Amino acid sequence: MESDVSLPRIEPLRSTRDLPTGTVEVAEIRLSGLPRGAVLVLCSAAGLDTHAPELMNALAEHGYETLAAAPGGPGLTEPELVAAIDGLLVVLTERGWQREQVGVIGYGEAGRAALLAAGAMRLGAAVSVSPSGVLDGPVPTLRTPWLGLFGELGTPPEAVATLRRLLADAPEFSRLVVYPGADADFFRGAADALGHAASFDSWQRVVEWLNVRVVPRPSPYAELWASRQEPKPSDHPRQGSAR
């Protein structure tokens, strides 16, 4: 995530939010101008202080506003977790972001929350980085394209294979990537070659996954143009089948 171009580092704004599941601490980076999109970062409570600020700055370099939070402890049920994420998305809605203009990334224990969000909501994109416990409950039917990144030493390969099989027939696209020789912490970077490669590649994939899926916020002129348009023929299926 380091960049040779030194951009000013942005200190995330810290505040608390009342969610249906209780009050949580959140961190935010708001951007001026026309941000590309928004990302909801789900991490552990400790991650909010350690990993999240750097990640949020890196996403800002790609034009994404961010909201980071620990969606809840291990005690939450799946519906509660989804309700908590829903509550966090309201914060982004207040900033004018529609759901398809939002990507969600979950790290580690919050990785499963990102997968659940991909099943429960129609967002722009979802990513789980080194998620733990992805097979602890039923695998949701995807409504949002989902990227899963795993370290070979952090997640049993059989679990990844099972998940891949369960997602194969999903109505939305998914991709699962396993980094050979990498442990569960691969995304934090490592000095050894495999760890470094995993960290570098996984960040590239995260950014690309968002860039090709999160709906860009239209510029004022793009909105003007859209308001002038009749619905195009391609808004409707135009291709009949001959039989």
Which residues have CB under 8 Å from 74's CB, separation 6+?
109
CB of 207 to another protein, least distance (A): 12
Q: How many Cβ atoms are within 10 Å of 79's Cβ, its own excluded?
A: 12
CB of 141 to another protein, least distance (A): 13
Nearer to another protein, 200 or 225 (CB): 225
17 phi/psi in degrees, rounded to 5: -135, 140
Nearer to another protein, 161 or 212 (CB): 212
For the chain, how many residues are written?
243
CB of 234 to another protein, least distance (A): 5
Cα-based distances in Å from 175 to 130, 179, 209, 211, 233: 13, 13, 10, 15, 32
CB of 242 to another protein, least distance (A): 4
Place of tokens 């195009």: 232
Nearer to another protein, 86 or 100 (CB): 100
* Residues of the shown chain interacting with another protein in the complex, contacts defined by CB under 8 A: 145, 170-173, 175, 211-213, 215-216, 218-219, 221-222, 224-225, 232, 234-235, 237-243
- Residue of 146, 73, 160, 75 whose CA lies nearest to 116: 146
CB of 224 to another protein, least distance (A): 5
Nearer to another protein, 2 or 235 (CB): 235
CB of 143 to another protein, least distance (A): 11
- Residue of 100, 91, 138 whose CA lies nearest to 214: 100
Instruction: Give CA–CA dist 44/178, Å, rounded.
Output: 22
Nearer to another protein, 173 or 200 (CB): 173
Which residues have CB under 8 Å from 153's CB, separation 6+?
181, 182, 183, 184
Nearer to another protein, 70 or 167 (CB): 167
CB of 216 to another protein, least distance (A): 5
Instruction: Give CA–CA dist 33/206, Å, rounded.
Output: 23
- Residue of 120, 114, 202, 82 whose CA lies nearest to 154: 202
Nearer to another protein, 5 or 242 (CB): 242
